Structure 1
Amino acid sequence: MRIVRDLAKRLPGIRNLVRDRDRLLQELATWKVRQSYPPGHYYSPVPSANDVAGIGRKSGREQLSELPGIALNWDAQEALITKLAAYYSEIPFGETKEQRGEHRYYFDNGFYCYADGILLYSLLRHLKPAKLIEIGSGFSSCLTLDVNELFLNGTLHCTFIEPYPERLHDNMRPTDAGSAKVMVQKVQDVPLSTFDELNESDILFIDSSHVGKASSDVNFLFFEVLPRLKPGVWIHIHDVFYPFEYPEEWILAGRSWNEAYMLRCLLMHSSGFEINLWGDALCTHRPDLMRSLMPMCFKNTGAGIWLRRVGK
């Protein structure tokens, strides 16, 4: 039988069929190991469709303006957004790729859109940080580089930690060399001392894999990096919708992310971190204020939350 199989493998058509069969059998074996428990099983971190049904309504997104154990700091958020509104009329970015002109960033990009971009632009001008470390790069990097060039006179030193930097490299210019560094590696492999360089009003910008699991970037950031930050450092975490719940359609599409839940746990009764700005929450529960100050935010209310380290 083995001789027949070996002879068959020499025929091009059969050889390809055997190769494909072996590959599929290997994938099936791997899948069985990965799926020891089906979605919805109480041992599985992946929810079933029944688990997810109505999750937006159940989360109380529209109804709850306060969350148990978490200081949302509405007064401070309102005061800050009022200050940031001073920069709104000077926004230089176009909405589409065709309208971006000489800039790298434009709002309708599908990744880091209107409200997220407006708040990052405004905070960069307001804080005037000396250093920014960004984990996970893309359109937010484009905006940061533009703001550094247009409004900060190149004084902001950026470190981009990105294992897949092709899009970032496509948008960088020779003039960025003096103020930007790209570390082509996973954040888990970056020396912790790198984050000790951040001081008051500097920014740690996180756009991670959004998944806490063994050896993940999220575990590394939450357990190793965030606790060692100095007081006064600002922290951005992306894809955190109010009230720390993911959109139902995302979960049904297979995005079983859990970073927002980990962040909610971190912030409950926390004396080490405070919420300073949350665009999605403001647009949901302070819509009149946001429409009067930054109406373009409602084209996409975003999902970036801004924290500040306040204690050790």
Structure 2
Amino acid sequence: MSRARLRRAGLGLSTLLGIRPGGFLIPYRHAGAARAEGYPALRPIFVEAEPAFRAVLAAIEAHAADLDRIRAGGPGLVGERPARFTQDWFPRLDAAAAYALVRRERPARIVEIGSGHSTRFLAQAVRDGGLPTAITCIDPAPRAPLAGLGLRHEARLFGPADAEAAASLAPGDVLFIDSSHVAMPGTDVDRLLLDVLPRLASGVIVHLHDVFLPDAYPESWAWRGYNEQLMVGALLQGGGYAPLFSSRVVSRWPLGGVLARLPLPPGAFETSLWLRKRRGAPAGSIESERSREAAS
């Protein structure tokens, strides 16, 4: 048995025996009949957004020289361990789109929940664009070291104070979510999607990672227990967020230019989903809700 399987077995036994929670057990007697399938009813949302996706591809190509420099490990790379494409955590399309969107949108603030290789590309875009962008990363254990990237790293789990800070983002700012991907009461996904997103201002840009929509999660990921994209699918149906880019969708298009030159490790999944909160979409706050209650 592999080390990873042994670790999962240990977490499962610890949870089942009530020793220490290592995950979530959801009793469901028909679990054996459940089969993950795609979501064809969501496809029109992505088809309608194709002009926005192509605009991001154009932005990527506009920065081809910089992306080629990153690929080659050339001069001017930021951090003790700079951004690189030879990894499968945040591969090709995900990395190139993040870089291009930061350069195009020029956010004043980026709040990132879950950090690592993505952070390196965000920081590199800020440096190359000469942007005054402030990056705050919240992650107890980033997947890749962040030293020398010129940002603030909070080494802890996402909490209530962070929810307030994220909800205060201004139009054009970025909320970059790559968290636990587990939607259970009290998890970061629960608080971000059901508490923070409703309070965001119109024009705030939201990134969500490991989103395979309009497809199901791959069978090879079943052991992870991810269910975040079920909530994301419902979010898309509401119409309050306009899709800007889907790596999953675009990865199936014929790609040329710089994207054809960037390496993609075998078996890597490209799964970034970028959204922008639409103008006129409701944005509330705890204070305004209390005011309404007091007036009633």
Q: TM-score range by the shorter chain?
A: 0.7 to 0.9
Q: Which amino acid aligns with 2:234?
A: C
1:163 lines up with 2:140 in the alignment: yes
CA drift of 1:236 comes to 0.4
Q: Which amino acid aligns with 2:96?
A: I
The residue number in structure 2 matching 1:67 is 43
CA drift of 1:261 comes to 1.0
Conservation of the 8 A alpha-carbon contact between 1:117 and 1:143: yes
Structure with bigger gyration radius: 1
Q: Any idea what the Cα deviations from partners look like across 1:182-203, whole Å, max 9, x if unmatched?
A: 2222213334331243112111
Match among 214, 230, 254 for residue 243 of structure 1? 214
**Distance 1:77-1:28 versus aligned 2 partners, 3 A rule:** closer
**Distance 1:256-1:158 versus aligned 2 partners, 3 A rule:** same
Q: Which amino acid aligns with 1:156?
A: T
Conservation of the 8 A alpha-carbon contact between 1:116 and 1:301: no
Q: Which amino acid aligns with 1:295?
A: A
The residue number in structure 2 matching 1:88 is 64
Give secondary structure in 2 for the equivalent of 1:67. helix
Cα distance in 2 for partners of 1:271, 1:183 equals 33
Superposed, 1:1-312 pairs within 5 Å as 29-30=17-18, 37=27, 41-42=29-30, 48=32, 51-52=34-35, 55=36, 58-59=37-38, 67=43, 72-91=48-67, 92-94=69-71, 99=73, 102-103=77-78, 104-149=82-127, 151-165=128-142, 170-173=145-148, 176=150, 180-251=151-222, 254-268=223-237, 270-284=238-252, 287-288=253-254, 290-291=255-256, 294-296=259-261, 299=264, 300=268, 302-310=270-278, 311-312=281-282
Cα distance in 1 for partners of 2:202, 2:230 equals 23
Give secondary structure in 2 for the equivalent of 1:277. strand
Compute the TM-score of the two structures, normalised by the length of structure 2.
Answer: 0.76
Conservation of the 8 A alpha-carbon contact between 2:114 and 2:178: yes
**Distance 1:26-1:240 versus aligned 2 partners, 3 A rule:** closer
Give secondary structure in 1 for the equivalent of 2:99. helix
Q: Any idea what the Cα deviations from partners look like across 1:98-155, whole Å, max 9, x if unmatched?
A: x477541101122111111111111111111111000001111112222222x13251
Conservation of the 8 A alpha-carbon contact between 1:115 and 1:296: no
Percent same amino acid at aligned positions? 25
CA drift of 1:85 comes to 1.9
Give secondary structure in 2 for the equivalent of 1:200. coil
Cα distance in 1 for partners of 2:217, 2:107 equals 30
Conservation of the 8 A alpha-carbon contact between 2:100 and 2:125: no
Cα distance in 2 for partners of 1:106, 1:266 equals 32
What 5-or-longer segments of structure 2 have no aligned partner? 1-12, 283-296
CA drift of 1:65 comes to 9.7
Cα distance in 1 for partners of 2:210, 2:14 equals 34
Q: Which amino acid aligns with 1:274?
A: A
Conservation of the 8 A alpha-carbon contact between 1:245 and 1:261: no
**Distance 1:230-1:29 versus aligned 2 partners, 3 A rule:** same
**Distance 1:72-1:187 versus aligned 2 partners, 3 A rule:** farther
**Distance 1:74-1:159 versus aligned 2 partners, 3 A rule:** same
Give secondary structure in 1 for the equivalent of 2:70. coil
Conservation of the 8 A alpha-carbon contact between 1:162 and 1:186: yes
CA drift of 1:297 comes to 6.2
Q: Which amino acid aligns with 1:79?
A: A
Q: Any idea what the Cα deviations from partners look like across 1:11-53, whole Å, max 9, x if unmatched?
A: xxxxxxxxxxxxxx9776338x975737xx33x5xxx4x744x
Cα distance in 2 for partners of 1:132, 1:26 equals 37
Give secondary structure in 1 for the equivalent of 2:256. helix
Cα distance in 2 for partners of 1:231, 1:259 equals 23
What 5-or-longer segments of structure 1 have no aligned partner? 1-24
Alpha-carbon RMSD across the aligned residues, in angstroms, is 3.1
